A and B are shown apart, each in its own frame.
Chain A
Amino acid sequence: MEMKYQKTSGLTDNALSYCPGCTHGIIHKLVAESLTELGVLDRTVGIASVGCSVFSYQFFNVDMEQAAHGRACAAATGVKRIHPDNVVFTYQGDGDLASIGIAETIHAANRGENITVIFVNNAIYGMTGGQMAPTSLIGQKTTTSPFGRSVVQHGSPIKISEMFQHIEGVAYLERVSVFNPRQVRNAKKAIKKAFQYQLDKKGFTMIEILSSCPVNWGKTPIDALKWIEESMVPVFPLGVFKDAGESHE
């Protein structure tokens, strides 16, 4: 019998640590497939961040470094400057990237570091138990915004792709999601393109992925996917924010 589909060799055999219905797992698969298809697994170094994806160093079948909370882009800079021909990527949540690590991320982008950032925006702090994130929506109840996020008290959700599109060093920036199969296919295309740009030495690439956290959102996995589509997408519209195309060298 012919094997039509199998687990990508870009992932190890370790069991994923994510909650049932969480879309971190899908995103892992898309990243791993992209690296496998580009034939670069053996020269890739991934940077795991602090958040639910901290254990991604056990899952991606490549060399990995686990970085301090928010510092993934700084660690990635260190690796990439030493091994410019390696493929270097970070995998970060919204607390890690958009809050504590915003400076490291902006400056890596501004230097045009030739790395790829996989930015998983689930509008909440998953790992620490559902606290408010910089990307939480107005009105969203979390364990530290029990009355819902308010503009006056907390400010509005931070829109990373909208901000980063204005940074010179960014070569490619797209916001995607994984709430239905069509979106998953599109997310895969975007991720693979970002890595291809890195291989072509075009500069900083980031894919923001709207992702679910059914557990801390208090929703079933299906309702969580619906919430991405109906509540998150209007605030965080999908699409290409920047595509510099030509080489940045």
Chain B
Amino acid sequence: MAKVLMKGNEAIALAAIKGGCDAFFGYPITPQNEIPEYLSKYMNEHGKVFVQAESEVAAINMVYGAAGAGARVMTSSSSPGIALKQEGITYIAGAKLPCVIVSVMRGGPGLGSIQPSQSDYNQATRGGGNGDYHVICFAPETIQETIDTMKEAFDIADYYRNPVMVLVDGLIGQMMESVDFDRPIKQRFLPPKDWAASGTKNHPGRNVINSLYLEPKDLEEHTLGLHKKYQSVIQNETRYEMINMEDPDYVIVAYGTMSRVARSAIEMLEKKKLKVGIIRPISLWPFPKQAFKEIGPNCKGILVSEMSLGQMLQDVQIANKGRLPIAFYGRVGGYVPEPEELYDAILNFKKWEVLD
């Protein structure tokens, strides 16, 4: 397929189809409505499943049911809707089921706004569901990267039998870029879903999808099993990009839309003879801690920038281990910082330094 001009949300929907999505369950919320709108047409025309559920709670539990039955399933939502999905997400993780969740962040807390935001970093990486579980979370910065990630997300979910979240802000959802849907993705060996509840005629024995383990011995064994899986996710799926990182004077840490702003800011700083690099986390969980070990000896500080008041900041503080001074610059309410603002923040590093 040649390159096409496409809106982010529609590209997410088409990429899901290319990724082999069998079923979509969701509930309307701005700014992600183009995803279900696109899929409602396509899925019905191609004999696949599309259900507009009565709530996000119902939608994610339909995902649970369908994933347990062996299908490749997704849902999409935005901030308050993702909050409601947390119940189902922990059940899905607990029952070792694969699914893809798209989160298009808007402003919060509460009903917040429908403007773009990155204030659901904690919601995505820490989640609100109960128990020791993780959601594998990727935060692409362009529509092209979102497409590639979406296509691969279904394989990653199936491979690890775990929910995978693709996290973008409303800006990526709403803007248009020229994109290619046929870029190859990593090939993985995906074993048959012989664990699925699809009727005993389809497999030996009786399959049960469950997250209940009343005996301490059983629950500990189950949770340790999940933990072991998460270690292998950390090993194999941690993703980040190092930009202009040969012995920089400063480093900006930014993901998604903010890393695009940072790219422009470092060009402006170059003219001031300041060499500024960017660490761009692509996987938010697992967070790319190792990137911070690679920061050269002459770096004077790290500037974290988010469209929030500092959520990823805490992961950077953990990864930095107190080595370098850290400053934070963020905007909220739907404002996207201009490159000039990051330029100023680097030049006035002390002003924005986080003293904890």
Give me the interface of A with B, judged by CB distance under 8 Å. Answer: 12, 41-45, 47-48, 54, 57-58, 61-68, 71, 74-79, 81-83, 86, 103-104, 106-107, 111
Task: Give the A-B contact count at a CB cut-off of 8 A.
Answer: 134
Contacts of A75 in B (CB 8 A): 61-62, 64-65, 68
Give me the interface of B with A, judged by CB distance under 8 Å. Answer: 22-23, 25, 49, 51, 53-55, 57-59, 61-71, 73, 87-88, 91, 95, 197-201, 206-212
Closest to A78 in B: B65
Given contacts A62-B206, A63-B208, A65-B209, contact A78 B64 (CB under 8 A): yes
Given contacts A42-B201, A64-B197, contact A79 B66 (CB under 8 A): yes
B23 touches A65 (CB 8 A): no
B88 touches A71 (CB 8 A): yes
Select the residue from B59, B68, B71 with max chain A CB neighbours within 10 A: B68
The 9 A-B pairs at the shortest CB distance, nearest first, are namely: A78-B65, A75-B65, A78-B66, A74-B61, A71-B61, A63-B197, A42-B201, A107-B54, A43-B199
Shortest distance from the beta carbon of A144 to any chain B beta carbon, whole Å: 23
Contacts of B212 in A (CB 8 A): 54, 66
A57 touches B198 (CB 8 A): no
Contacts of A79 in B (CB 8 A): 65-66, 68-69, 197
Closest to A47 in B: B65
Select the residue from B22, B49, B57, B69 with max chain A CB neighbours within 10 A: B69
Instruction: Write 7 A-B pairs (CB below 8 A) sorted by A numbering.
Output: A42-B200, A43-B199, A45-B198, A66-B212, A82-B49, A104-B61, A107-B54
Contacts of B53 in A (CB 8 A): 74, 107
- Find B199's partner among A66, A74, A77, A83 (CB 8 Å cutoff): A83
Given contacts A45-B199, A63-B208, A66-B210, contact A82 B61 (CB under 8 A): no
CA of A106 to CA of B58, assembled, Å: 11
B200 touches A41 (CB 8 A): yes
Contacts of A83 in B (CB 8 A): 69, 198-199
Shortest distance from the beta carbon of A208 to any chain B beta carbon, whole Å: 21
Given contacts A78-B63, A81-B66, contact A65 B200 (CB under 8 A): no
CA of A193 to CA of B212, assembled, Å: 32
Contacts of A62 in B (CB 8 A): 199-200, 206
Contacts of B69 in A (CB 8 A): 45, 65, 78-79, 82-83, 86
A74 touches B211 (CB 8 A): no
Contacts of B208 in A (CB 8 A): 57-58, 63-66
B66 touches A82 (CB 8 A): yes
Closest to B203 in A: A63
B54 touches A103 (CB 8 A): yes
CA of A64 to CA of B197, assembled, Å: 6
A42 touches B67 (CB 8 A): no
Closest to B73 in A: A78
CA of A81 to CA of B43, assembled, Å: 12
Closest to B72 in A: A82
CA of A30 to CA of B183, assembled, Å: 54
- Find A74's partner among B22, B49, B58, B207 (CB 8 Å cutoff): B58
Select the residue from A41, A47, A58, A78 with max chain B CB neighbours within 10 A: A78
A63 touches B198 (CB 8 A): yes
CA of A64 to CA of B207, assembled, Å: 7
Contacts of A67 in B (CB 8 A): 61, 64-65, 91
A76 touches B199 (CB 8 A): no
- Find A77's partner among B51, B197, B200, B209 (CB 8 Å cutoff): B51
Shortest distance from the beta carbon of A175 to any chain B beta carbon, whole Å: 24
A71 touches B58 (CB 8 A): yes
Closest to A50 in B: B212
Contacts of B71 in A (CB 8 A): 82
Known: A64-B207, A65-B208. 17 other contacts (CB 8 A): A12-B206, A42-B200, A42-B201, A54-B212, A64-B210, A65-B197, A66-B209, A67-B64, A71-B58, A71-B87, A74-B61, A76-B65, A78-B68, A79-B65, A82-B49, A82-B65, A107-B58
CA of A58 to CA of B201, assembled, Å: 18
CA of A75 to CA of B63, assembled, Å: 7
Closest to B64 in A: A75
Given contacts A44-B199, A83-B199, contact A61 B61 (CB under 8 A): no
Closest to B54 in A: A107
A61 touches B23 (CB 8 A): no
Contacts of B91 in A (CB 8 A): 67-68
Shortest distance from the beta carbon of B65 to any chain A beta carbon, whole Å: 3
- Find A57's partner among B23, B66, B210 (CB 8 Å cutoff): B210
A45 touches B197 (CB 8 A): yes
Shortest distance from the beta carbon of B133 to any chain A beta carbon, whole Å: 14
Closest to A42 in B: B201
B58 touches A65 (CB 8 A): no
Contacts of B210 in A (CB 8 A): 48, 57, 64-66
Select the residue from A12, A44, A45, A74 with max chain B CB neighbours within 10 A: A74
